[in-house]
Structure 1
């Protein structure tokens, strides 16, 4: 394979953008392991008492990821996130105003490999969520597994990440006075195994728990489609039924996390590596789907609202796809 190296005269601003994405990628794929190793190291040294103190804190603070987390405006506003935004670039688009007196459940699609659009738009201030939706505070839901990792959990909570279990989402959607937006990548880990350039397949047909939750709290459902999310990485061929896909699905069922074998470009060359491609990602927030609150919705009501949601998401996609380079004849596929 012929390697295409980056030119030496790349503008300094682009090098800084690349560095910003390197640290984000490191946080996603290696920081948790480093934090766990640090905790174990503390346990095995004369500083074991620090590990013991932190373990006590971990126990006392164990409920926080389910109770809105502990966000930091300072961390969310770091300048590095602006460079991260400009690398792709990332853009957040509003289609309608959202009433800040309500709590919302945002359904983010597609999951992509590393949900770059969801992180950049809802876990940082870089794309201006607060200006587009004044009075709303976004919370990105993440697998509960990650909130058990020492130190790492505290860092991701600073960005506004909270646990994705039902109790956590219910806490956000039940807050009096409104102003909360729980953001859920509905397709979850299984959908990341479908993420590759050109893919328009969403795992949605059997995913109705988020709809039931919205009805129970009377929270409007807001479809969100992130155009370009699947264009950021290539993925090793893993068709359904292949040995690789079977192994990935077994791992996902065992640990709750998927392991997409992705690749894109490197730091100093464009031919191969783990950095995402410089492809624009535009995250469009659609029209809210209002629901009537019912603590015990029937299956028929859940199915009805789920159909409304599918139609709303499909309409959002169809109205915007040609603006973002998707051919007119291409459509979403739900599985």
Structure 2
């Protein structure tokens, strides 16, 4: 394989953009493990009393990830996130105004490999969420496992990440006075196994728990499609039924996280590595679907709203796809 090296005369701003993405990829793939190792070493050192005090704090603070987290506007506004945004670049597109008197459940599609669009747009202020949607506060739902990792949990909560447990979503969607936005990557970790350039397959037909939650709390549903999300990494071929796919699905059931075998580019060369490609991500927030509160929704209520949601998501995709380089003959596939 011929290796294409990066030129030496790259402008400083592009080097800073790459550095910002390196730290982001590290945070997703290795920071939790480093934080856990640091806690274990602290326990075994002469400073074990600090580890004991922190363990007590973890117990006392155990409900915070399901009670809105601990958002830090300062961390969300770091300059590093602007370089992160410009690497791809990432943009947030509003189609209509959203009334801050309501609570909303944003259904984010597709999951992609590392949900870069969801992180950039809803866990930082780099794309101007607060200016586009005044009065609304976004929270990105993440697997509960990560909020049990010492130190790491504190960092991710600062960006607005909260647990994806039912109690966490219910807390946000029932907020008095409105203004809360729970952002859910509906396809979840299994959908990342479908993430590759050109893929338009969404795992949603059997995903109806978020519909039931919206009904129970009267939260308005908003379909969100992130154009370019699947273009960031190549992935080894793993068709449904293949040996690799069966192993990945088994590991996902055991561990709770998917393990797509991905590759893209490196820091100093463009031929291989774990950095995403520089491909634009345009995250389009669609029209809200009004939801009337129903504390005890029937199966028919859930199915009806689910159909309306699929229709809204399809319309959002069809109305915007040609603006972002998807040809007219390409359509979403729901599984």
TM-score by length of 1: 1.00
- 1:144 positional shift: 0.2
Paired residue for 1:24?
24
Paired residue for 1:102?
102
**SS in structure 2 at match of 1:222:** strand
Note the 1:105-184 alignment, pairs <5 A.
105-184=105-184
Note the 1:240-251 alignment, pairs <5 A.
240-251=240-251
Structure 1: where are the runs of 5+ without partners? none
- 1:241 positional shift: 1.1
Paired residue for 1:262?
262
| 1:3 is aligned to 2:3 | yes
**Distance of 1:28 and 1:47 partners within structure 2:** 28
**Distance of 1:213 and 1:254 partners within structure 2:** 26
Note the 1:183-222 alignment, pairs <5 A.
183-222=183-222
Coordinate RMSD, CA, aligned: 0.4
- 1:304 positional shift: 0.3
**SS in structure 1 at match of 2:259:** coil
**Distance of 2:162 and 2:202 partners within structure 1:** 23
- 1:243 positional shift: 1.3
**Distance of 2:266 and 2:10 partners within structure 1:** 14
Paired residue for 1:226?
226
- 1:184 positional shift: 0.1
After superposition, the C-alpha distances for 1:199-246 in whole angstroms (9 at most, x for unaligned) are 000000000000000000011100000000000000111111111111
**Distance of 1:91 and 1:54 partners within structure 2:** 38
**Distance of 1:145 and 1:296 partners within structure 2:** 29
**SS in structure 1 at match of 2:194:** coil
TM-score by length of 2: 1.00
**Distance of 1:166 and 1:159 partners within structure 2:** 20
**Distance of 1:35 and 1:5 partners within structure 2:** 33
**Distance of 2:97 and 2:128 partners within structure 1:** 14
After superposition, the C-alpha distances for 1:4-60 in whole angstroms (9 at most, x for unaligned) are 011111111000000000000000000000000000001111111111000000000
**Distance of 1:89 and 1:114 partners within structure 2:** 15
**Distance of 1:308 and 1:79 partners within structure 2:** 39
The number of residues matched between the two structures is 335
Paired residue for 1:276?
276
Note the 1:48-127 alignment, pairs <5 A.
48-127=48-127
**Distance of 1:125 and 1:261 partners within structure 2:** 30
| 1:293 is aligned to 2:293 | yes
- 1:306 positional shift: 0.1
**Distance of 2:246 and 2:78 partners within structure 1:** 40
**SS in structure 1 at match of 2:17:** helix
**SS in structure 1 at match of 2:241:** coil
Q: Which runs of 4 or more aligned residues in structure 1 lie more than 3 Å from their structure 2 counterparts after TM superposition?
A: none
Structure 2: where are the runs of 5+ without partners? none
- 1:289 positional shift: 0.5
